[in-house]
Amino acid sequence: MANVVIVGAGLGGLPTAYELRHDLPTEHSVTLISERPKFTFIPGLIRVAFGLASLDQIQLDLGQLTGRQGINWIPGAVTSIDPHRQQLTVGKQVMEYDYLVIATGASLAFDEIPGLGPDGGYTQSVCTPDHTIAAREAWFKFLENPGPLVVGAMSGAGCFGPAYEFVLMADWVLRRRGIRDQVSITYVSPEPYVGHMGIAGMKNARELTGSLLKKREIQTLNNTSISEINPDTINLATGQQIPFKYAMILPSFLGAKFLRETPELTNKKGFIPVKNSYQHPKFPQIYAVGLSVDLEQPETTPIAIGLPKSGQMAEVMGAAVAHNIAVELGAVKPPLKTPTLEVLCLAEFGNTGIAYIAAPILPDPETGKRRYSYAVQGRLIPLFKAALEIYFMQKMRWGLGLPWFEKLGLRLLFGLSLLKPLPKAGPFHFPPKT
């Protein structure tokens, strides 16, 4: 009997637990650890920040979900891990594991810029439920006395989609309220150009995103680094100051604190290196999915940016990890599997939206090219995203990870292939930096 432990119950962790429970016979236990009592559909937080949806709509009780599926759920925060002894500590409890899946998400590096963030700083965030509720309260106060609005990301950030969604949704909400003329809007980002999204060379992304921001009269500052934030001004590294009455700035990410404190486990930022099987190269009992994985930005940019790690990527990584652990335990047949990292991102911008597709997100290391990539804009995109949210929440209720019909649908609609066989597990290869 093996005990498989998953740390983190987000977009990567909960589907991974479901996949493991589906693949493994009942003689093996599946344990899910989460410091939060509820699962949150993180992409839905943007609408919550503007009061367009409630938090209850995108949250589910983990105790109920895991109980129905025969998954052991332990509420609490992991404070340490000993990969040599295969033990971890949750509060005062020391647990042993046979296989460990790290799906913790990331720590938010607000402290890298003075004045950044909602906790002791002057800017808002939509990265967690608590931050989003604070951002919503600040937004409604802002509507009573509007002024300059600044949205963007700090240097080192890699997930730019929420920033674009926030700035364009804000514009749309302000126009619906008839007060857009009272608000100047500025988008500040370390991206080399508008619509880069942390993914270089995506067809049509630059043109469609830039055209939409220009049409909405949103000033853009790219190749821009924020140095300090005061109560009413954002200071740039160039010395320029931007006034604001409301600001939402995305932070860069770090690995969870207990990971960063574990010798030999992570890189300097606390992210876990993996082989193609998503096992740690030194500790093969440890796997990683989602934001915890060390995926480096292959492109050299004037100001450092990260590589996006979407919820879809985390889900597919989890499906591969669950399959590979099941192979190791003899529950399913080889070969091992690895994610293709072919990605679809649906961005809602009010009465329109853009679908960004990169297949795969990392170019081929030999040719420097992808199979294909493109962006397409349309009024149906917000409806597609709303339908995706409903579907995802429902499959979490049903206890489904990455079902066959979802993989088939993405292949038929967008040409995406999510997983591929891995005859031999080796180190994960990244394209050379240029």
- Using the 8-state DSSP alphabet, how is residue 104 labeled? -
In SS3 terms, 212-243 reads as HHHHCCCEEECCCCEEEECCCEEEECCCCEEE
Q: Is 203 exposed, middle or buried (0-12, 13-18, 19+ CB in 10 A)?
A: middle
46 vs 102: CA distance, rounded Å: 26
Contacts of 185 (CB under 8 A, 6+ apart): 148, 149, 150, 151, 167, 170, 171, 216, 217, 218, 219
395 vs 402: CA distance, rounded Å: 9
Instruction: Supply angle C-alpha 332, 338, 395, rounded to 5.
Output: 70
79 vs 347: CA distance, rounded Å: 35
Helix (H, G, I), strand (E, B) or coil at 248: strand
Q: In the structure encoding, which two tokens stand for residue 343, read together?
A: 């990605």
Nearest in space to 164 (alpha carbons), one of 129, 202, 195: 195
Q: In the structure encoding, which two tokens stand for residue 243, read together?
A: 């006034």
Residue type, 49: A
In contact, 251 and 206? CB cutoff 8 Å: no
Catalytic position from the list 46, 103, 159, 362: 159
345 included as an active-site residue:
yes
Nearest in space to 70 (alpha carbons), one of 118, 17, 9: 17
Catalytic position from the list 48, 202, 319, 345: 345
Bond preceding residue 118 cis, omega within 30 of 0: no
DSSP conformation letters of 50-99: TTSS-GGGGEEEHHHHHHHHT-EEEES-EEEEETTTTEEEETTEEEE-SE
Nearest in space to 341 (alpha carbons), one of 371, 299, 386, 304: 371
What are the residue numbers of the active site? 159, 345
